[in-house]
Amino acid sequence: MKATRIALLLWGVLLTALPLAAAPLPPPSGEVILTVGGEIGLTNVDDEAHLDADMLAALPRERLMTHTSVTDGPQTFEGFLARDLLDALHAEGERVTALALNDYLAEIPAEDFERYDVLLADTMNGERLTRRDKGPLWIVYPRDDHTELQDIRYDYRWVWQLHRLEIE
């Protein structure tokens, strides 16, 4: 447990310092929530990054308030930026394929994450997203801040029950 703590701490330090050298990623200690594959610099299981709740929690937390196309009223989301995750994993790709638990698949241009503060939310209105609802992760665009995002061509990128990303 202590070793895990240290590893996590190290992982956190690596994240905040944005290291250029690829250090090995510690193996997941808890239930894997998100798996990232494809063109990434850091891996821990085979050539993939298997990330558990603690590892994801180490990423900088962000809060975003926005309307969605499937709910009423503004919703407050918390989570981490897709950009931060990809940077932490040294991801190099043009396209991100997001997969949901129900096998829903959406292809997202990587530049979306550069241009907008796209959130991988794990909390909505202070409540943890579960897989009975939109959990464990929901890709949330800052829809209210950018009118061009109020478009069905962006709506399909709001993948919920996200559990896997493929970087190409």
- Smallest separation (angstroms) from another protein to the CB of 140: 15
Strands 127-128 and 119-124: antiparallel
By the rule CB under 8 A, 66 interacts with another protein: no
One-letter amino acid for residue 9 of the chain: L
Kindly indicate which of the ranges 22-30, 49-57, 63-71, 114-122 contains the residues binding another protein, using the contact rule CB under 8 A: 63-71
User: Cα(120)–Cα(140) distance, rounded to whole angstroms?
Assistant: 6
By the rule CB under 8 A, 161 interacts with another protein: yes
Residue 106's nearest CA partner among 38, 47, 165, 32 is 165
User: Cα(55)–Cα(155) distance, rounded to whole angstroms?
Assistant: 28
- Among 2, 31, 132, 153, the residue binding another protein under the rule CB under 8 A is 132
- Residues 9-48, mask of contacts with another protein (x by CB under 8 A): ----------------------------------------
Binding positions for another protein, 67-86, rule CB under 8 A: 69-73
Cα-based angle 146, 139, 105 (whole degrees, multiple of 5): 115
| Side-chain half-sphere exposure of 161, counting CA atoms within 13 A | 9
By the rule CB under 8 A, 125 interacts with another protein: no
Q: Is 54 helix (H, G, I), strand (E, B) or coil?
A: helix
- Smallest separation (angstroms) from another protein to the CB of 119: 19
Residue 15 and residue 61 in contact, taking contact as beta carbons nearer than 8 Å:
no
Residue 49: CB atoms within 10 Å: 27
- Smallest separation (angstroms) from another protein to the CB of 156: 9
- Among 133, 145, 148, 168, the residue binding another protein under the rule CB under 8 A is 133
By the rule CB under 8 A, 146 interacts with another protein: no
Interface residues with another protein (CB under 8 A) are 69-73, 101-102, 104, 130-134, 152, 155, 160-161
